[in-house]
Every structure is written in C-alpha cells, then in structure tokens.
Amino acid sequence: MHEIKKIDDFTSLNNFKSKYLGKNSILYAYFSKLTTLEISERKKFSILLNGFKKKIQDKINYKKKKLQDNKIIQEKNKHFLDCTLPGRRIEKGNLHPLTIVINEIKKFFNCLGFKTFYGPEIENTYYNFDALNIPNDHPTKSMNDTFWFDVNHVLRTQTSSMQIRILEKYSVPIRAIVPGKVYRRDYDHTHTPMFHQIEGLIVDTAISFSHLKWILENFIIKILNKNVKVRFRSSYFPFTCPSAEMDIQDKHGKWLEILGCGMVHPNVLKHCNIDSNVYLGGAFGIGVERIAMLKYSVSDIRCFFENDVRFLKQFCNSEKY
C-alpha cells in the first residue's frame, strides 16, 4: 500500500482503483476462481478476499477525501482576500470642461428669463444662409468654408439658423439661447472643424444696443468670476445691423475676440413676418471654446477634443453630475 501514498491527483487514483479492483485486476481473478473450490474452502477464501477488497476500498476512499480537501484549500488560497491590503481606487467621473462651461452659460441666461432651445446640426440652406440675409456671393457659402451635403443642406456653420426657426414658431416677445455644435473648414491652435456656439436672441418692443451691451458685460464677469476689461469693436454680420465684436483683454494686455453681437437686421425680422417698426431684436453668438480657454487658461483649443485623460482629470472638481 505504499503505492497509494504517492498518488496526488484523481486520475492516478482512478488508475490505482482499476489496477486493484477492476475486472482485469489480480483480485478479480482470484474471485473468479472461488467457484472451483470446495464450499468450506470457498467460504474461507472469500472472507479473506473481501477483507482485502474492503481494505483497498477504504484506502481509496480516504485518499479521495484527502485529494478533495486539498482541492478546496487550493481554491480558497486562489481567491484569498487579504483585508489588510489597501482598496482599489475607483476613478471619479466628471463632466467635460466644455459641458461645464455650457451649463454655466445656460444657468446665467436662464436667470435672465432666456429659454433654451436646440436645433438640427444638418441645416437647410434657407435657415443657415438665405433667411439670415446672407448674400449668394458671401464667402461662407463656398466649399472652402462650409461642409456641404447637397445644394440644399449643410453642416450648420452657426447656431444663428435657429433664430428663424424660433421666430417662426413662437410669438414675440421672446428671449432664447441655443447651445450646440457648429462646423467650419478651419483647423489650428485656436480653431477646429467642429466647435460649440451659443446663440442668443431677444426680441421686444424696446430693445436697444445698450441692453445687449449690459447683458454681455455682466455675462463675462459672471462666467470668468472676475472683473475683466472688455471692448466692443464695430464689425459686420449680414443678419445684424449695427454689428459688433466683443473682445476681452488677457493678463498680457492682448485683446481676444470672444463673441459677435448686434441688433437683428430688419430683413431677418421680415422673413418671420415681424414688423421691424414695432419690434427690435438683439442677437449674439458666444464661442464656448474661447470662453473655456480663458476660464481655464488653456492655450490650445485642440486639447478639448484629444481625449487626454490627464487633461480632463483637472476638471474633476469643477462640477458634479
């Protein structure tokens, strides 16, 4: 029985059982010869053989139980939990910095009574160009500046297209902002082919550029959480008259354009069957990435879209879900 002591797996144990208790074993051969013996001898040798068989079976059962216990111990060790080890850190999720800025902008304008609207990113040329008083020879209509699907549809170049949709569907007076993605063929450290813009529109009977200027100045102070020096430069947009661009001065004294604005052009109101002699409107378009770059001191706009976790982790505590 020294042989069974060396067995350390179930396969070897089964082979051992077949060798000593199987049909081809020596023990089985002896049992088959009992029929040739006299009854007295048959009784005597059968007792001896059965005793030997039971002894072997007991050894096998003991070994089997021992192998099973060892297997259980190995499984426990395999999945052993050491409670003294430090826990695995779960990474904290957070909103994208652009989403944080958009939410802050929406919150500011919602407090002033502006409602938030959303529009299609694949836009009809009527809403994107024609209804906004943009002439056919304007550079934005060229293939070099705009992503065209066909002669009637483009990836919207501005959220201003929603001005027409809102004025067509809702009655004046109205205050609205439209956050969303816009697309232009441009790419460098301050421009990307896709970026975010928030269009603002206010139409009422007694709106002036002074109202627009007050709103935008207070907006910048609130969003950047500090008093900053701003200026309004005369500019040109086909859908506003007069038009202006708002600049902000950075810490180096350099002026950076952050939005365009102006009084809604009478032709735009006319497209929506609104009497420009009774109602006046102010509009503005805010570049979200520009605001975020100033707010978080980011020098390259492309950082917002490269999905670098090291960059995005900096904003974990900026806003909760």
Mean pLDDT, contiguous 10-residue spans, the chain (321 residues):
73 79 75 74 77 80 83 74 78 86 94 94 90 83 85 90 90 92 82 90 92 93 84 91 89 85 91 89 92 87 87 71 39
Position 150 in a domain: yes
Q: What is the pLDDT of residue 318?
A: 56
Position 224 in a domain: yes
Neighbour count for residue 193 (Cβ, 10 Å): 13
Position 87 in a domain: no
Position 275 in a domain: yes
If asked whether residues 52 and 199 sit together in one domain, one would say no
If asked whether residues 171 and 309 sit together in one domain, one would say yes
Q: What is the pLDDT of residue 262?
A: 93
Q: What is the pLDDT of residue 321?
A: 39
* Structural domain that includes position 33: 2-78
If asked whether residues 11 and 49 sit together in one domain, one would say yes
If asked whether residues 147 and 257 sit together in one domain, one would say yes
The domain that holds 266 is classified in CATH as 3.30.930.10
If asked whether residues 111 and 218 sit together in one domain, one would say yes
If asked whether residues 137 and 232 sit together in one domain, one would say yes
Q: What is the pLDDT of residue 1?
A: 58
Q: What is the pLDDT of residue 320?
A: 46
Position 92 in a domain: no
If asked whether residues 57 and 149 sit together in one domain, one would say no
Task: Give the CA-trace dihedral at 261, 263, 266, 269, to 10 degrees.
Answer: 80
Position 86 in a domain: no
Q: In angstroms, what CA-CA distances link 254 with 11, 236, 265?
A: 82, 22, 31
If asked whether residues 74 and 145 sit together in one domain, one would say no
Position 126 in a domain: yes
Which H or E run includes 293? helix 288-296
297: left (phi over 0), alpha (psi -120 to 50) or beta: left
User: Burial letters for 287-300: b for 16+ Cβ neighbours within 10 Å, e otherwise?
Assistant: bbbbbbbbbbebee
Q: In angstroms, what CA-CA distances link 152 with 32, 124, 127, 289, 313?
A: 98, 6, 10, 29, 42
0.85 surpassed by pTM: no
If asked whether residues 107 and 21 sit together in one domain, one would say no
For residues 140 and 154, is the Cβ–Cβ distance under 8 A? no
If asked whether residues 156 and 246 sit together in one domain, one would say yes
Position 84 in a domain: no
If asked whether residues 131 and 260 sit together in one domain, one would say yes
